[in-house]
Amino acid sequence: MGSMKKFFFKSYMSRSESERFRAGFTLLEILLVVAAIAILAGIVIVAINPNKQLGDTRNAQRRADVNTILNAAYQYTIDNNGTLPSSIASSTCSSVTTNEICKTGVATSTCSGSFIALTELTASEQYLTSLPIDPQATSSANGTGYRITKSGNGRVTVCAPLAEQSATISVTR
């Protein structure tokens, strides 16, 4: 064992003084590598843009929900000899304060005025088990965040006025 120590000691001592101090990384080298990694991570995060990705995901959910509500309303209409749910009012879907669909389970008396109660669609769970709720619906404790209207000709429009990134989410049939 003693001979091994002598070997390493001789090997170390045979180096010049500058070589002995150059055995590891300097603080400056470590800081430069950390800074380069931080810059690359920042570029990747900006390129991915998580806020846009999350907004796109919520908008996709809104598109699916709008189609689900409209399909349920038309299935109800087919099963009831062409009669739309009576609570759907005539208006424009762009009106943010009126024609909001009331959440499932909220009393009809609570959903009066500017709310639309679609209890026909959820009562027997034949068309929907519950009405979908907008991913960011915080405007009302009773509303889903989606709007439903009908035209004079009986065309139904369901829209999502809370859509993000200037998207217009609306389906008419």
Q: pTM for the full model?
A: 0.75
> Predicted confidence band at 12 (pLDDT cuts at 50, 70, 90)?
low
Q: Report d(CA 108, CA 114) in Å as an integer.
A: 12
147 beta partners:
100, 159
Query: Which residue would you say has higher pLDDT here, 85 or 24?
Result: 85
Task: Using the predicted structure, report yes or no on whether residue 48 has a pLDDT greater than 90.
Answer: no
Q: 5 pLDDT band (50/70/90 cuts)?
A: low
